[in-house]
């Protein structure tokens, strides 16, 4: 009977796997069988690995080779895949940037449209005040914050004692001319008409307003006359009497 601690046991124990797979030379197999007869430990281990050996015998050696050996182009495929992933990531990044820019652009368009709507509303008001030649709103350029509107302050002569107005701001628009002024003393409820005088002697209506008596009146009067063609601004009452006049 072989003792488990014997050198033969240690050597043969390491060969149990090969024995289970029937891979030992004849003499070694004979020695193993003799040892197993007397060694319960090795019999126990063989019993443990026998089912595994059975499974392993059903596996094709070719399949084992395929599993074990990576394909020769694996490294290249990994590098290609990494490069593709990197390109995809960069493309997504570019797409996100474009979308963000588009959103910003959209907001700018909305802001420009809103500004244009304000201008259109102002022009509409101008039309209500009597100016019948409002420029097409679609032709209006989007207002730019950096655009400087040329404004000149001109002295206004008051022809009626009650009316107090000292100066008007004349604004040279691309579409016409505008006069802004504040005043008091315009008779409450009375209709006043504003007009610009052109270099060729015409009087172009710039709108109408109602007097507000002692309250401060703020007026924006506009006409489709270019500033360069404008030489005067007048306000008349409903009897045709000139109330205000300015030389431009």
| Footprint of Zn ion (CB under 5 A) | 9, 39, 42
Give min distance, CB of 42 to Zn ion, in A: 3
Question: Which secondary structure element, helix H or strand E, spans residue 89, and what is its range?
Answer: helix 74-128
Least Å from the CB of residue 34 to Zn ion: 11
Partners of 154 in the β-ladder:
168
Select 42 or 219, whichever has its Cβ closest to Zn ion: 42
* Closer residue to Zn ion, CB minimum distance, 42 or 177: 42
CA of residue 127 relative to chain centroid, distance: 37
Nearer to Zn ion, 39 or 195 (CB): 39
> Locate tokens 């001319």: which residue?
177
Residue whose CB is nearest to Zn ion in the complex, by number: 39
- In whole angstroms, what separates CA 116 from the centre of its chain? 21
| Cα within 13 Å of Cα(102), Cβ side | 6
CB of 15 to Zn ion, least distance (A): 10
Identity of the residue, 2 or 133, whose beta carbon is nearer to Zn ion in the bound complex: 2
Cβ closer to Zn ion: 39 or 244?
A: 39
SS (H, E, C) 8-50: HHHHHHHCHHHHHCCCCCHHHHHHHHHHHHHCHHHHHHHHHHH
Is the CB of 48 or the CB of 87 nearer to Zn ion? Answer: 48
For the bound state, the minimum distance from the C-beta of residue 9 to Zn ion, rounded and expressed in Å, comes to: 4
Quote the tokens at residue 202: 């015409």
> Which residues, in sequence order, are CB contacts of 142 under 8 Å at separation 6+?
112, 115, 116
Q: Is 77 helix (H, G, I), strand (E, B) or coil?
A: helix
Give residues with Cβ within 8 angstroms of 168, minimum separation 6.
153, 154, 156, 179, 180, 181, 233, 246
Give me the least distance between CB of 85 and Zn ion, in Å please: 54
Nearer to Zn ion, 42 or 217 (CB): 42
Q: Shortest gap between Cβ of 57 and Zn ion (angstroms)?
A: 23
Rounded to a whole number of angstroms, the minimum distance from the CB of residue 26 to Zn ion is 20
């Amino acid at each position: 009977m072989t003792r488990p601690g014997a050198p033969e046991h240690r050597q043969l124990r390491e060969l149990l796997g090969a024995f289970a797979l029937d891979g030992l030379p004849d003499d070694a197999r004979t020695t193993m069988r003799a040892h197993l007869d007397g060694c319960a430990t090795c019999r126990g281990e063989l019993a443990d690995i026998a089912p595994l050996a059975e499974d392993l015998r059903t596996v094709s050696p070719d399949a084992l080779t395929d599993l074990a050996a990576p394909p020769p182009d694996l490294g290249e495929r990994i590098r290609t895949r990494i490069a593709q992933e990197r390109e995809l990531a960069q493309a997504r990044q570019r797409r996100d940037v474009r979308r963000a820019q588009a959103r910003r652009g959209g907001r700018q368009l909305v802001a420009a449209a809103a500004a244009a709507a304000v201008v259109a509303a102002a022009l509409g008001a101008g039309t209500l005040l009597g100016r019948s030649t409002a420029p097409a709103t679609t032709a209006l350029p989007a207002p730019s914050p950096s655009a400087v509107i040329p404004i000149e302050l001109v002295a206004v002569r008051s022809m009626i004692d009650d009316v107090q107005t000292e100066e008007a701001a004349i604004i040279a628009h691309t579409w016409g001319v505008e006069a802004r002024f504040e005043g008091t003393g315009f008779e409450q409820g009375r209709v006043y008409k504003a007009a610009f005088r052109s270099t060729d002697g015409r009087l172009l209506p710039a709108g109408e307003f109602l007097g507000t008596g002692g309250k401060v009146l703020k007026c924006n009067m506009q006409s489709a006359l270019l500033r360069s063609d404008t030489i005067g601004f007048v306000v008349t009452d409903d009897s045709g009497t000139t109330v205000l006049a300015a030389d431009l």
